[in-house]
């Protein structure tokens, strides 16, 4: 019922703006709440993370909270909620945050489709909104542009991370990768989550980078590990037990790469010698594995920069200033040669 009401309000506002021929005006004709603040200590900010147990999102959200505190927000006014990977839970959390007086929202959507309703809710209350990590659909982003909504999206382009994974493998050359010398690279693909844009792009672009370099590939197994270490470990263990011997394991993230490495070792194989594993994120444990040579490489998913950009975007909105609707940042390839530099760079940026 509440959702319907919000829809009606937003639709009415949209129709009004069309009628008066000013589709470039704000979605609501009331005065935006964004006023310049001289201090943020009393300003409430709401954050929803699709799932707090996710290793990468937990690093991201911790950094986001510390950065907001460093910018003058009081820890008590930063409401950080985990959405239990459930879009209706997330939607009611957004309603509660708005009802509780949040002046800005930073949301990691459970999936791209829930973003539409979240945007409706925020826009109808004139609350600025910053999406992080999971991309809302293209249509949704066009709507922010058409109606000049205070909504933006901060992210690294997942295609780049897939390409970098492929390039990390290519540094070894075909001969080293093709351990059994049959002219093909036998590989396992461990994907993040179904219909997740990062997972889709990383899978597609890692493989196409190898194919573009004329490598012959033989996919032995392609399964979803839900970004999770234990799930990936089970998948890889089962595959090897069934007699599938990969030369390469490509994982959509590091948590799953760590699980894959454990399974490889349990099977009596040597990661970094018998099987080459690559991940994404550059979790601290994964960088250690790179230094030990067990993980061939990973790709730094710059959570420090992304969390700072997201907080800065929310602050810009609160100050009555706009933001680009898409705020991008770059991934960085991590191998044994630059692993220590990456650790130092992360620590320096914090």
Number of residues forming the site for ligand GAL (CB under 6 A): 14
Q: Among the candidate windows 41-49, 51-59, 70-78, 240-248, which touches ligand GAL by CB under 6 A?
A: 51-59
Give the strand pairing for 332-334 and 298-300: antiparallel
3-state helix/strand/coil string of 81-117: EECCCCHHHHHHHHHHHHHCCCCEEEECCCCCCHHHH
Decide: residue 263, CB within 10 A, 0-12 exposed, 13-18 middle, 19+ buried.
buried
Among 253, 306, 316, 323, binds ligand GAL (CB under 6 A): 253
Shortest reach from residue 281's CB to ligand GAL, in Å: 5
Footprint (CB under 6 A) of ligand GAL, residues 188-207: 192, 196, 198
Among 34, 133, 233, 316, binds ligand GAL (CB under 6 A): 133
Among 28, 49, 56, 119, binds ligand GAL (CB under 6 A): 56
Shortest reach from residue 258's CB to ligand GAL, in Å: 11
Give the strand pairing for 217-224 and 332-334: unpaired
Shortest reach from residue 197's CB to ligand GAL, in Å: 9
User: Looking at beta carbons only, is 167 or 198 nearer to ligand GAL?
Assistant: 198
DSSP letters, 166-221, are HHHHHTTHHHHH-TT-SSSEEEEEEES-TT-HHHHHHHHHHHHHHHHTT--EEEEE
Using DSSP's 3-state secondary structure scheme, residue 45 falls into strand
Shortest reach from residue 199's CB to ligand GAL, in Å: 8
- Report the distance separating Cα 145 and Cα 19, nearest Å: 18
User: Looking at beta carbons only, is 135 or 178 nearer to ligand GAL?
Assistant: 135
Closest CA to 103 of 7, 147, 39: 39
Q: Among the candidate windows 53-61, 78-86, 211-219, 289-297, which touches ligand GAL by CB under 6 A?
A: 53-61
Give the strand pairing for 185-191 and 276-278: unpaired
Among 57, 118, 249, 289, binds ligand GAL (CB under 6 A): 57
User: Looking at beta carbons only, is 34 or 306 nearer to ligand GAL?
Assistant: 306
Shortest reach from residue 60's CB to ligand GAL, in Å: 8
Footprint (CB under 6 A) of ligand GAL, residues 70-129: none
Binding mask 275-304 for ligand GAL (x = CB under 6 A): -----xx-------------------x---
Assess contact for 280 and 202: CB atoms under 8 A: yes
- Report the distance separating Cα 253 and Cα 59, nearest Å: 14
User: Looking at beta carbons only, is 54 or 191 nearer to ligand GAL?
Assistant: 54
Ramachandran region, residue 36 (left: φ > 0; alpha: ψ -120 to 50; beta: rest): beta
Among 144, 164, 205, 227, binds ligand GAL (CB under 6 A): 227
List of residues contacting ligand GAL (CB under 6 A)? 54, 56-57, 133-134, 192, 196, 198, 227, 253, 255, 280-281, 301
């Amino acid at each position: 019922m509440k959702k319907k009401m919000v829809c009606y309000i937003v639709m009415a506002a949209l129709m009004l703006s069309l009628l008066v021929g000013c589709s470039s005006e704000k979605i609501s004709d009331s005065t935006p709440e964004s006023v310049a603040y001289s201090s943020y200590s009393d300003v409430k900010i709401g954050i929803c993370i699709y799932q707090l147990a996710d290793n990468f999102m937990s690093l991201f959200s911790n950094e986001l909270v510390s950065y907001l505190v460093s910018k003058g927000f009081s820890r008590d006014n930063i409401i950080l909620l985990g959405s239990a990977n459930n879009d209706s839970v997330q939607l009611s959390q957004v309603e509660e945050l708005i009802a509780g007086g949040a002046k800005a929202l930073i949301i990691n959507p459970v999936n791209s489709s829930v973003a539409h309703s979240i945007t409706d809710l925020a826009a109808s209350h004139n609350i600025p909104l910053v999406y992080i990590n999971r991309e809302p659909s293209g249509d949704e982003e066009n709507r922010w542009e058409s109606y000049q909504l205070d909504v933006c999206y901060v992210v690294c382009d997942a295609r780049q991370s897939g390409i970098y994974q492929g390039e990390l493998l290519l540094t070894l050359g075909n001969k080293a990768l093709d351990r059994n010398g049959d002219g093909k690279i036998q590989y396992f693909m461990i994907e993040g989550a179904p219909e997740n844009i990062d997972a889709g792009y990383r899978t597609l672009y890692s493989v196409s980078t190898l194919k573009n370099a004329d490598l012959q590939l033989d996919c032995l197994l392609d399964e979803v590990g839900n970004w999770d270490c234990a799930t990936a470990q089970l998948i890889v263990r089962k595959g090897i037990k069934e007699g599938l011997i990969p030369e390469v394991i490509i994982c959509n993230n590091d948590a799953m790469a760590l699980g894959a490495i454990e399974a490889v070792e349990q099977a009596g194989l040597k990661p970094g010698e018998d099987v080459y594993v690559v991940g994404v994120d550059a979790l601290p444990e994964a960088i250690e594995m790179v230094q030990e040579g067990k993980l061939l490489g990973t790709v730094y998913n710059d959570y420090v920069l992304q969390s700072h950009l997201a907080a800065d975007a929310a602050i810009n909105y609160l100050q009555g200033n706009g933001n680009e609707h898409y705020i991008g940042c770059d991934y960085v390839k991590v191998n044994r040669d630059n692993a220590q530099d990456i650790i130092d760079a992360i620590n320096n940026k914090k």
